[in-house]
Structure 1
């Protein structure tokens, strides 16, 4: 009986400690307020209780920014956007070990989809030719037909083709974007964004309403794309391309202390040109595994991509 009472007391102490920790956590409004003030992710993840309370005090004293944060969050909620803080159970677990993980993620559509494991990122350049677009579409179509999730970035070219290939067979897809969710970048993809949401997919951003995409944010977006998956396919890209940033992130995070494992694949084209020079570079230097037009791809029992002979 004494052991049982000791166990109950231990559980109670643990619950009290967790309760105290949650109270000390910055609220969604406070986190956004501090982001508006220019605080970095590292500063907002400070674990020392005294520092957290100091940040809470800073937020409470920043009346203008706190009021702005509340207005933004209210607008987002009315538009159907769910804002998830890093300490929530709903926060995408793939992001948790990122050194610069976003303290808040903003989600339009299916908030559970980013926690799925059976997914593949299919990415590529905006200025793709018909071969590149056909490959992005066809590979995404295969994943959609198998009931898996396709991740891409809602950009023109290969990203659009990948989302479309998945949607056309009734699949679900995640678009990771570099702007607030009140802005569609590019504007021409507004109907595609609406269709992704209508068909059970997700639009995900680390930025609140009002933030526009720029080159820096587009590059940062790449890190979030690759950590959501174990497999990245480059459909087509030049050797100097934004797609290469995603490949670099996948290589950086591969086999790190947190156990991420990324396989990078690139489509091998019979005819070489500037538009697929990035694919050739990745394959020639053994930085990616080849996928040929017409090959079947599947995810194995460990959600790793397998290319059928």
Structure 2
């Protein structure tokens, strides 16, 4: 199905209702996929959702024109798109309850098909040791053949991406904004390096979209969905990283936390590590032997202690 049609419907009624329309099979009945077809689909949806406000034909036409323009402008910037109806849409993103419908990407989409992937995430303000550990973890798991997934944020995310690149590995960054932007701005060069090294930048948001609190949470679920496990370098008890942890738990992914020496200090940005361990919600990783054990757990190997 044409990306402009999916983008049009999302813009008109939002992701949640678009998913509902897809689940009920209304979009399957659209053949030409012009404004009349879309209006027909939305009218049928109205039959099962009385509170749904059907947009006018003029609104649909204007939205289609805008969607086509967005996709053309995206292509000029090297940004491609794919939707849930296409064969190249990553199964990891549609096999979750709150699935993606349309993603924009820059780089090699094949990275999202790789089975062996791990999210390395954490606070934007890590300790010096935490930053070193984050880079070391990115390097280690990349050398072990894992795609490294993170969010391109300052701190732990940046360290994980850079460690992966030093190992000549491939890394995926999930962004809370359109791919014509980089958040944060000072990671523009890192974003380009990720793409040039065979990695991928992805977003559910069209060009021109700015970051928002809601977008950060939504992109956190993509990190969990794309990974076999989520590894927290450092985090506070209440922080954005915990969103990714909760998504990982909902998706039955194994969570791990780094237990390097700074974690024992009375620092707010590392207290989350011990909290997750004490709550028995995560596996603690102290050294290379623990890294290997966690790797084997993610790969489904039996561990004999």
Shorter-chain TM-score category?
A: 0.7 to 0.9
In 1, Cα distance between equivalents of 2:242 and 2:227 = 16
Alpha-carbon displacement from aligned partner over 1:192-247 (angstroms, at most 9, x marks no partner): 00000000000011111111111111011111110111111000001111000111
| 1:48 counterpart residue number | 25
Alpha-carbon displacement from aligned partner over 1:103-146 (angstroms, at most 9, x marks no partner): 11111000111010111110001011112111111111001222
Aligned partner (choices 281, 285, 295) of residue 291 of structure 1: 285
Aligned partner (choices 189, 192, 196) of residue 190 of structure 2: 192
In 2, Cα distance between equivalents of 1:48 and 1:152 = 34
The alpha-carbon deviation at position 282 of structure 1 amounts to: 0.3
Q: 1:96 to 1:50 in 2, by over 3 A?
A: closer
Gaps of 5+ in 2: 31-35, 43-54
Q: 1:304 to 1:246 in 2, by over 3 A?
A: farther
In 2, Cα distance between equivalents of 1:108 and 1:308 = 42
In 1, Cα distance between equivalents of 2:304 and 2:198 = 29
Q: 1:114 to 1:281 in 2, by over 3 A?
A: same
In 1, Cα distance between equivalents of 2:300 and 2:151 = 21
| 1:246 counterpart residue number | 244
- TM-score between both structures, scaled by the size of structure 1: 0.83
Query: Bigger shift: 270-279 or 294-303?
Result: 294-303
- TM-score between both structures, scaled by the size of structure 2: 0.84
Q: 1:170 to 1:50 in 2, by over 3 A?
A: closer
**Alignment partner of 1:203 is 2:201:** yes
Aligned partner (choices 6, 30, 49) of residue 5 of structure 2: 30
| 1:92 counterpart residue number | 90
Q: Assess if the C-alpha contact under 8 Å between 1:291 and 1:307 holds in 2.
A: no
In 2, Cα distance between equivalents of 1:188 and 1:307 = 42
Query: What pairs up with 1:117-196 in 2 under 5 angstroms?
Result: 117-196=115-194
The alpha-carbon deviation at position 40 of structure 1 amounts to: 2.7
In 2, Cα distance between equivalents of 1:83 and 1:182 = 13
Q: Assess if the C-alpha contact under 8 Å between 2:228 and 2:298 holds in 1.
A: no
Q: 1:36 to 1:151 in 2, by over 3 A?
A: same
Aligned partner (choices 257, 268, 274) of residue 266 of structure 1: 257
Q: 1:66 to 1:304 in 2, by over 3 A?
A: same
In 1, Cα distance between equivalents of 2:275 and 2:208 = 38
The alpha-carbon deviation at position 48 of structure 1 amounts to: 2.9
Q: Assess if the C-alpha contact under 8 Å between 2:234 and 2:272 holds in 1.
A: yes
Q: Assess if the C-alpha contact under 8 Å between 1:266 and 1:288 holds in 2.
A: yes
Count, aligned residues: 277
Q: Assess if the C-alpha contact under 8 Å between 1:121 and 1:229 holds in 2.
A: yes
Aligned partner (choices 290, 296, 303) of residue 299 of structure 2: 303
Aligned Cα root-mean-square deviation (Å): 2.4
The alpha-carbon deviation at position 43 of structure 1 amounts to: 3.3
